[in-house]
Structure 1
């Protein structure tokens, strides 16, 4: 009798363990799909999840931007939460006081570098890259990257992620009033936003 009770307890414990192990997985898999609501576009959905519109369309084998309410889309993987936070902190430190479009553009520069063969292939290594003893981004050098990001910077990162792979491929930005490098000012200018010049 005692052995039977012990067996039942062991089986119940095992069953509960399996439920506990599978519950987070089913929750995670549910988060990989999105049911389209009326009026939603690829841009809105990409911005919501922080995934490139191009990837969203590609994964779902879409060749046009037409979406039907009720259809389900697979949401491709994006960068991690810690990478988003790091990028948002860089944007906050680099583009404080700049227009919102300038914040998106700063985040886009980092993503363009990740996608370029000229730079490291992940966000952390791009942001912390050193050249001749100096960090590529001054907030890393002076420590302001450690300050928390504001909501606008976080939103700018989401938008830059949705925009990833489109645009003019800017790899650099600088303030012409404070830049001391002649090399940076020799790069091809792609756009100017606020106090920053963007270039490639």
Structure 2
């Protein structure tokens, strides 16, 4: 009986310690006047939907002083990589097109048919080719401009709210009949987005 009691006490102590450790790692935000889920999600580089889910919110209503737990943000390294891809893929495209390119990558991360990290999605290979031309031709290694970073921040906050685009292409240069057979979700600038 003593052994069982000691084992149970050890388990409870370990559980409490683990719970305290997780809580200590969770970022907490106190809502300020004028803030919305959208502005908070963008400032922490997290998904608006994930922020609402984590805090069990069914509406957009926030109260000044309310405490919100913040989900784990996308790392700065992944954000930089995604911004460089957006810069290379969508140079000269409207801002909405840049956001949509970043959204395609995030949608792939969330989709079961693709790798589950930003880095793995961007560097994915098939048939000897990379999924994204800038990786193939080295343009991914050039620095991104501020607008590409802003587009990435917008896409991160927007994550999960779009039409589910998994692909994009330029209809003037795309030769693949397969990509043209995909369901079109939106056309922005010179790019067709599809799923």
Instruction: Give 5+ residue unaligned stretches, structure 2.
Output: 1-20
Q: Which of the residues 174, 178, 181 maps onto 2:169?
A: 174
Larger Rg: 1
1:151: Cα distance to partner? 0.8
Q: Residue 33 of structure 1 aligns with which residue?
A: 28
Question: How do 1:1-200 residues align onto structure 2 when only pairs under 5 Å count?
Answer: 32-200=27-195
Deviations 1:135-187 (A, max 9, x none): 00000000000011111111111111111111110000000011111110110
Tell me how far apart the structure 2 counterparts of residues 92 and 82 of structure 1 sit (CA, whole Å). Answer: 15
Matched-pair contact (CA < 8 Å) for 1:49–1:158: no
Tell me how far apart the structure 1 counterparts of residues 95 and 31 of structure 2 sit (CA, whole Å). Answer: 28
Deviations 1:14-48 (A, max 9, x none): xxxxxxxxxxx9xx95x812221111110111111
How many pairs align? 173
1:50: Cα distance to partner? 1.1
* TM-score, structure 1 normalization: 0.83
Tell me how far apart the structure 1 counterparts of residues 50 and 174 of structure 2 sit (CA, whole Å). Answer: 35
Matched-pair contact (CA < 8 Å) for 1:113–1:171: yes
Tell me how far apart the structure 1 counterparts of residues 88 and 28 of structure 2 sit (CA, whole Å). Answer: 34
Tell me how far apart the structure 1 counterparts of residues 37 and 67 of structure 2 sit (CA, whole Å). Answer: 12
What is the Cα-based RMSD across aligned positions, in Å?
1.4
* TM-score, structure 2 normalization: 0.86
1:88: Cα distance to partner? 0.5
Tell me how far apart the structure 1 counterparts of residues 46 and 72 of structure 2 sit (CA, whole Å). Answer: 7
Deviations 1:67-103 (A, max 9, x none): 0112121111021110110001000000011000100
